[in-house]
Amino acid sequence: MTWMESKGCIRGSPKLRSLQELENRRNDIANIAQHDTTRDLILLNQQRMAEIELSNQMERKKKELRILSKNLEVEKKTTETLLCTTLPRHVANKLKEGVAEQSSAF
């Protein structure tokens, strides 16, 4: 942007990178001319920053899932060990396989 002393006004585009900077200057995207590339650059950069934030969130969630998966494996091993120590091995194996023995009531 350039201050034009002779006309008492500012000419040109503001040097901004985000909508936040525009808001900090108490301005709005609508105040930038539609043909001005600054408008497009601000919006593109805003989209890029949002995509980066989403990518960072996904990375954090992946780390959380890995930790939860490891914890689940530890719990599964603990449960299997407990199952094998409290029941006969053949019964424990059938339970792990999901096969339930049916007892005849007759």
Following DSSP, what letter does each residue of 30-97 receive, concatenated?
A: GGS-TT-HHHHHHHHHHHHHHHHHHHHHHHHHHHHHHHHHHHHHHHHHHHHHHHHHHS-HHHHHHHHH
Q: What is the pLDDT along the chain (106 residues), one digit of tens a residue?
A: 555 567 665 556 566 667 777 777 777 777 777 777 788 888 888 899 999 999 999 999 999 999 999 999 999 999 888 988 898 888 888 888 876 555 544 4
Q: Which domain holds residue 55?
A: 12-97
pTM of the model: 0.53
Residue 104 domain flag: no
Distance separating the N- and C-terminal Cα atoms of the chain: 95
Strand partners of residue 11: 2
Q: Is residue 82 part of a domain?
A: yes
Residue 42 burial (C-beta neighbours within 10 Å; 0-12, 13-18, 19+): buried
85 in a domain, yes or no?
yes
Number of domains in the chain: 1
Question: Does some domain include residue 5?
Answer: no
Six-digit token string for 44: 């593109």
Domain membership flag for residue 47: yes
3 found inside a domain: no
